[in-house]
Amino acid sequence: MKKILLASVLTALATAASAADAAHTVTQRDRTFHPAEAMIAKGEALTFTNQDAFIHQIFVTGLFDSDEKNPGENVTENFPQTGTFEVRCHIHTKMRLVVHVR
């Protein structure tokens, strides 16, 4: 009985951790950010996953500016202050993501 309960608790924790990770992941696909808008808490980070056939280089003016990331690469950026920020791609200027940091 204890083993079954422990396995259930571990499964629930793994599922919750996976959901939290997914909530903080932004994919780059078809020269667009998915989702196009995100809400996170101050000090949290977003992981950008390049699932496109192109390189991307993301930035927020005054906050961060990443190196070029090839298809399949990730970059994680922290948002240390509250506010609304527009994440852009230097290479594909029409790519925009609005991030609300509370």
For 6-57, strand residue ranges (E) read 25-29, 32-34, 37-40, 45-50
**DSSP character at residue 66:** P
Question: pLDDT tens digits, residue range 36-92?
Answer: 999 999 999 999 999 999 999 999 999 999 999 999 999 999 999 999 999 999 999
Task: In whole angstroms, give the CA distance from residue 63 to residue 80.
Answer: 9
- Decide if 5 is inside a domain: no
Q: What is the pLDDT of residue 3?
A: 52
Its domain, for residue 45, covers: 24-101
- Decide if 11 is inside a domain: no
19 confidence band (pLDDT: 50, 70, 90): very low
Q: What is the pLDDT of residue 31?
A: 95
Q: What is the pLDDT of residue 24?
A: 87
- Decide if 15 is inside a domain: no
Q: Check: CB of residue 27 under 8 Å from CB of residue 51.
A: yes
Domain count, the chain: 1
pTM above the 0.85 mark? no
CATH assignment of the domain containing 31: 2.60.40.420
